[in-house]
A and B are shown apart, each in its own frame.
Chain A
């Protein structure tokens, strides 16, 4: 059992609250990604789990044991740092064995564990090198190896891929997935990159301003966001947001007019008891904002980004204060400053409260 339980975890730096009473459970063997914009507290939360940052109040349980105030080395966690933090004066082998040596593990035991980890990560030929003589990807592997040899209950990763170039990042992402499949250990992974979050995670925790906005499986977060922030943070390009005003409310639906598009209105399914003339926001993902659907909007193309297989078409309309984006797969000729009719289906639209940003289902 190596689940991680966060009970009302709070962190204060002086009068500033960095983590605001966070509750969550990460199940044994799960790959959990903490994601959010910079400054949201995700790294702080990870460091609190590691024991590198004290917990102001609340309880942290690892494998059922209260570790709120335990020594970092005694929590059964291992961490891979963003900068790798390899000991520069030690060889790869010494780097990996240092932690075991410090707890007084027997020599043969260390030898066995290190060579085992080296085999998993393909580091056998590099064991006598110093970190300086390694490439970025190799350093990254050593950092992971250092964590593996300790056979931790929980692996912690603090933005481990952000110092790698784009190609290597994709490759390491795959290796991490494979490693998790092989070790089946609980992993907690911090990133600001929602692509990493979507591809790696069994469970995503979206954070903002020291609070958890939503947690759940990647698909759940993507297809059923709880609020405007999560909806816009997950998914690339960002979800399009249209202003709306409620005009008519029925049993299970509401009619909403779009003030930025004269004479356009949408009937959206919702069980929410909306009041007429209430302000709402309508969210439509770019892949649902294209050439099919019952609602048609007249817009002007402002910019086309060609990605080869598909195109991001950025759109403008009179009175609209933000750019909208449509994801086109069809080989359709689109150029800037042209007019374009964009369609969407009301069933693909998410409804949010204008004031609170909460989802209206």
Chain B
């Protein structure tokens, strides 16, 4: 005789009842919007009036124009640079601060301060710092005798993307640092001490003990940074508007332009759907690879 254990176990009914209000909101404002976006992506909707079904025309346009392909490439490049540098910098700071308990409690939040600022504010401030005339960066370079390097950072297609990436890294390095420091806090001190007794130098402990044990932090730092970077558009949107010469034209900027400037909702939706596919695919692949690393 099999009796449902009603006594204690939470039922699916509770699961759904407790979550009902949340699920209704998520259904209306997440699932439905995605379906709507998908639907719109097959139309020529312009923000008002009737939307005409155009089939795969929007997608065909995206796939047949090199310009959009370049935008996806730029987006990936932007994210890749940001993730690599932010992760390395965060790991470096964390491994230093882990060894320096005296200054850790000051430095961790200090590095975090830029992440507290609005991206719009950061974008404006850095736009000015980068500006060729009164900007702080060129003036600072000149004052330390590196005047040769002074240039219009955002004005040249060669440097613009990297300049924007640098701002992104500056903004969120503290975040990565905090993630790695949290990872360090999970490593038992005994392991470090055992390593010391085994005669491992600081670098050897970092390389052979800490890096492998920080695997979960790598997963989190990399996946979150990737998603965060792919989701963001404010920095290039304000700093360069996609220029110069499309050097910083991310897919997100194209979507915003299509929406705000041309009111081509249908086309923007097709781009958005493709972008969503890219984000989810990248995150899933990263997750799968990095998780494997975690298995010890």
Contacts and interface: CB of A to CB of B under 8 A. Distances in A.
A53 B9 CA distance: 8
B110 interface: no
B4 interface: yes
B7 A71 contact: yes
B1 A54 contact: no
Main secondary structure of the interface of A (DSSP, over half): loop
Contact of A69 (B2, B7, B9): B7
B14 to A, nearest CB: 15
A191 B8 CA distance: 23
Interface residues of A, number: 12
B8 A52 contact: yes
Interface string A49-63: 001111111000000
A228 to B, nearest CB: 34
A71 B8 CA distance: 8
Interface string B1-45: 111111111000000000000000000000000000000000000
A57 B2 contact: yes
A72 interface: yes
Contact of B8 (A51, A56, A68): A51
B3 A53 contact: no
B7 A56 contact: no
Contacts of A56: 2-3, 5
B8 A72 contact: yes
Contacts of B6: 54, 69
Interface string A64-96: 000011111000000000000000000000000
A53 B1 CA distance: 16
A160 B170 CA distance: 53
A294 to B, nearest CB: 54
B3 A69 contact: yes
B2 A72 contact: no
B5 to A, nearest CB: 2
A55 B8 contact: no
B8 A53 contact: yes
A70 B7 CA distance: 7
A53 B8 CA distance: 6
> Chain A CB within 10 Å — which of B5, B6, B7 has the most?
B7
A53 B2 contact: no
A15 to B, nearest CB: 13
Interface centre among A51, A52, A54, A70 (most CB of B within 10 A): A54
Contacts of A72: 7-8
A68 B7 CA distance: 9
Contacts of A68: 3
Interface in A13-64: 51-57
B13 to A, nearest CB: 16
Contacts of A54: 3-9
A51 B8 CA distance: 7
A163 B5 CA distance: 30
Contact of A51 (B2, B3, B4, B7): B7
A68 to B, nearest CB: 8
A56 B2 CA distance: 6
A52 B5 CA distance: 9
A244 B7 CA distance: 51
A57 B8 CA distance: 16
A69 B2 CA distance: 12
A208 B275 CA distance: 58
A311 B227 CA distance: 67
A311 to B, nearest CB: 36
A57 B3 CA distance: 7
A141 to B, nearest CB: 26
A57 to B, nearest CB: 5
A53 B3 CA distance: 12
B227 to A, nearest CB: 35
A72 B9 CA distance: 11
Nearest to A54: B5
Contacts of B9: 54
Contacts of B2: 56-57
A72 B6 CA distance: 10
Contacts of A53: 5, 7-8
Nearest to B1: A57
B176 to A, nearest CB: 34
A57 B2 CA distance: 6
A242 B171 CA distance: 73
Contacts of A52: 7-8
A69 B6 CA distance: 7
A173 B1 CA distance: 40
Contacts of A55: 3, 5, 7
A55 B1 CA distance: 10
Nearest to A58: B1
Contacts of B5: 53-56
| Closest CB pairs A-B (n = 7) | A54-B5, A51-B7, A52-B8, A57-B1, A54-B7, A72-B7, A69-B3
11 contacts: A51-B7, A53-B5, A53-B8, A54-B4, A54-B6, A55-B5, A55-B7, A56-B2, A56-B3, A57-B2, A72-B7
Interface of B: 1-9
Given A54-B5, A56-B3, 7 more contacts: A52-B7, A53-B5, A54-B6, A55-B3, A55-B7, A57-B1, A69-B6
